[in-house]
A and B are shown apart, each in its own frame.
Chain A
Amino acid sequence: MESRTMHKWYWVWEFEKEDDWLNDMALNGWVLDSVGFCTYRFVRCEPGEYSVHTEMHPADEGYVDFMRETGAEYVGRMMMWMYFRKKTADGPFDLFSDIDSRISHLDKIGKMLSIVGGANLLIGLANTFSPARFGWINLLCATLLMYALGRIHGKKEALERERMLHE
């Protein structure tokens, strides 16, 4: 089967952009078939045959079974992100249908960023006082992760404002 591999980088707060790009690819006749680090492999499909979604979700066989039961295919996982696709002929495909679940998805992302960011901060501080002098790398990572956390938090606040009025 005809395939192509593309390399692309998305920051964690750009997951919706990534989703849009994967769906644009599907609209153009290329559906995601496997994922790797900054690597996406696509195979030929009919334009618009599939819709594709990604979600941060801890490893969970039960969830994959559940998604399959609803007609979605599990494409793969990269780090904490799972990728699913579903034939558009089999009905609409969304991962979230209300504000609460979108907020709890952002919470999961925020929690992961806080843990990894906090660990980098601690390692960075510890190494600053050690002879290795590589602590700045961890401090840089911690700064970036905290920035990401801020972006995710901003998205969450926007949804919370919306939730004041409707679900």
Chain B
Amino acid sequence: MTDQAHMQAPVAATPRAPLIVASVIFAALALIPVLAEAWGGAWLTSLAVRAMILAIVAISLDLLMGQGGMVSFGHSAFVAIGAYACGIMITEGVYEMALILPVAIAAAGLFALISGAICLRTSGVSFIMITLAFGQMIYFALGSLAQYGADDGLTLWSGPDFLGTSWLGSDMGVYVTVFAVLLATWALVHRITGARFGRVLRAARQNPTRVASMGYSVFRYRLTAYVIAGVIAAIAGVLWATHAAFISPSLGAWQRSGDLIVMVVLGGMATRNGALLGALFFILIEETLSSITHDWRLIFGPLLVLIALYARGGLVGLLDRVRGPR
């Protein structure tokens, strides 16, 4: 009973490979503005900004889907809420990001709290459908805002200020900001996952009854994760409005939520770099295919079917297999 060898708790080592992969990705992203400078292609930085913003949203969705087992089909609604918070405030003459961001976070957090509390009364397929329905609700509500462009959307004639500076007015400023937010999100979600909170969340995905019988309110942890993910997505929405200078309800359309799910699964769920890789790869596929044919969805659709049927584990799983068994 008192055997010392038994009492020593085995501590898992941190695997190095994901960190190397992440370093490569972030280094490449940091180099893109330099490369774009050399090739004179503003489209490349713009594309990279788009990909990075989507990666932020995808990472937040993976916290729900991969770690928490909550397949939300309404996640793009939070992007739209963030984007509209930004767009509406700018239209109304509030340009300061330090004011816009808290409002966007509060709006998304509140909606996540209320809709999440209702959605989480169900699970499985019902949860998918209800998050879908709440996403549509936001979509239609935004589309009926006649004074903010209704279905046609809203062009932002000037961008937000950043603490009184025009930092976010330059392409470089936006690029650096989005890069920093992506890096922070990637690190933060990993920390959350490994911390006490994330442990409860991951356990509840595997066996909610057991977790409840241990003394945890599964609902409370899931709802908290839902709010965190929603808020991160809304921050990405603010960045989107800043970058694109145009917002429309289609940001929150359910097809966008579908795209986000595709990104997460494509990259590999519940892995350190899956959502990040998935989002970047998604944009790459979209860009490549649409340069080949205007009707790229004719190829992409069947590709999704094949991924769903045969490629579980996603890109990260593929990377693992390439590296071979250890």
The finding on whether chains A and B are genuine partners in a shared complex, rather than unrelated, reads no
